[in-house]
């Protein structure tokens, strides 16, 4: 799986100019109590996802094209949000993991862009965002954490609600190949030095149970995939026109691989 293998895993707060009206503001982070498996691996995530870099430029370019602020759903440790902020674009980042957001806040502070990140604890199906923006992103397969169509439709509807007329939702997901499944099924693989990962694929329910463990933590999480045409149907049902479906972050049109990168415009 080499280069692609880097993406075959999901991984991997700040100046609260948006605190008012969204819950309790603690040290510049809007907090809402929620549990997340990512909390246990927040310190591990950046090392785990270290080799995943191919999407960063793509999302930063999209953000620069749209102009800020943008909303990133499932912002995580800021792997994309921090470079986006460094490019001069304000980012409202939503994530259900306080641990991930805490790492993100520190990363932003170290990069000198904390003032451009507004991090909020919340669920992407019900994001605590009152602002309306030209771009909503959901990078690195975060939508695969939605378990069924009800949740997917809730997430897509919520993203649409955040968009200004003509605004865009950009996200990427994957659909595993049989080869990938056979190669990794039930095996602990060392993805990065000292970081082990195990994939248990259920082809019937289209669910990947992914476990990761390292010195600083371990977690197990579920990701549920769809075929690309199913994403297309859901997007249209949610009030989006699909502008592009790429097979990679270099804008190569999708031609049957594992990755899909979607650009969907809010229909009027």
User: Where do contacts with ligand SAM occur on this chain (CB under 6 A)?
Assistant: 10-12, 36, 38, 49, 74-76, 79-80, 94-97, 100, 123-124, 139-142, 145
How big is the CA angle at 72 (ends 180 and 110), to the nearest 5 degrees?
100
* Coil/strand/helix, residue 40: helix
- Output phi, psi for 137, to 5 deg: -120, 155
Nearest distance from C-beta of residue 165 to ligand SAM, angstroms: 25
Of the pair 103, 163, the CB lying nearest ligand SAM is at: 103
ω into 112 cis (within 30 of 0):
no
**141 or 255: whose CB is closer to ligand SAM?**
141
**Residue 6 Cβ vs ligand SAM, minimum distance, rounded to whole Å:** 12
State the minimum distance, in angstroms, from the CB of residue 116 to ligand SAM: 16
Shortest distance (Å) from residue 48 CB to ligand SAM: 10
When the beta carbons of 14 and 96 are compared against ligand SAM, the nearer one is: 96
Q: State the Cα–Cα distance between residues 214 and 83, nearest whole angstrom.
A: 26
Instruction: Write down the H helix ranges in the chain.
Output: 2-5, 42-48, 56-66, 81-86, 98-111, 149-162, 178-184, 228-237
User: Distances from the Cα of 83 to the Cαs of 55, 160, 179, in angstroms?
Assistant: 11, 24, 34
Minimum distance from CB of 142 to ligand SAM (Å)? 4
CB of 159 to ligand SAM, least distance (A): 12
Q: Which is nearer to ligand SAM, 32 or 267 (CB)?
A: 32
**Rg, the chain, Cα only:** 17
Q: Where are the beta strands (DSSP E) in 129-256?
A: 133-138, 163-174, 188-192, 195-202, 207-214, 217-224, 240-246
Q: Which residue is nearest to ligand SAM (CB)?
A: 76
C-beta of 173 vs 264, nearer to ligand SAM: 173
Q: Which is nearer to ligand SAM, 38 or 201 (CB)?
A: 38
């Amino acid at each position: 799986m080499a280069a692609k293998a880097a993406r075959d895993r999901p991984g991997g707060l700040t100046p609260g100019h948006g605190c008012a009206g969204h819950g309790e503001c603690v040290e510049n982070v809007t907090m809402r109590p929620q549990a997340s498996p990512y909390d246990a691996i927040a310190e591990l995530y950046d090392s785990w996802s270290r080799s995943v870099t191919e999407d960063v430029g793509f999302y930063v370019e999209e953000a620069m094209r749209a102009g800020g602020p943008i909303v990133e759903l499932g912002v995580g440790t800021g792997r994309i949000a921090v470079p986006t902020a460094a490019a001069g674009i304000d980012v409202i980042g939503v994530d259900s993991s306080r641990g991930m957001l805490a790492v993100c806040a520190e990363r932003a502070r170290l990069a000198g862009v904390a003032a451009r990140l507004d991090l909020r604890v919340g669920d992407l199906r019900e994001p605590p965002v009152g602002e309306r923006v030209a771009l909503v992103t959901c990078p690195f397969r975060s939508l695969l954490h939605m378990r069924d169509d009800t949740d997917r439709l809730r997430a897509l509807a919520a993203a649409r609600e955040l968009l200004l007329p003509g605004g865009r939702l950009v996200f990427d997901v994957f659909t595993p190949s049989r080869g990938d499944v056979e190669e990794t099924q039930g095996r602990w693989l060392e993805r990065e030095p000292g970081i082990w990962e195990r994939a248990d694929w259920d082809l019937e329910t289209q669910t990947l149970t992914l476990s990761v463990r390292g010195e600083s933590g371990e977690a197990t999480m579920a990701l549920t995939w769809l075929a690309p045409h199913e994403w297309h149907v859901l997007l249209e049902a949610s009030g989006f026109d699909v502008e592009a479906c790429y097979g990679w972050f270099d804008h190569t049109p999708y031609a049957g691989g594992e990755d899909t990168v979607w650009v969907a415009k809010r229909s009027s």
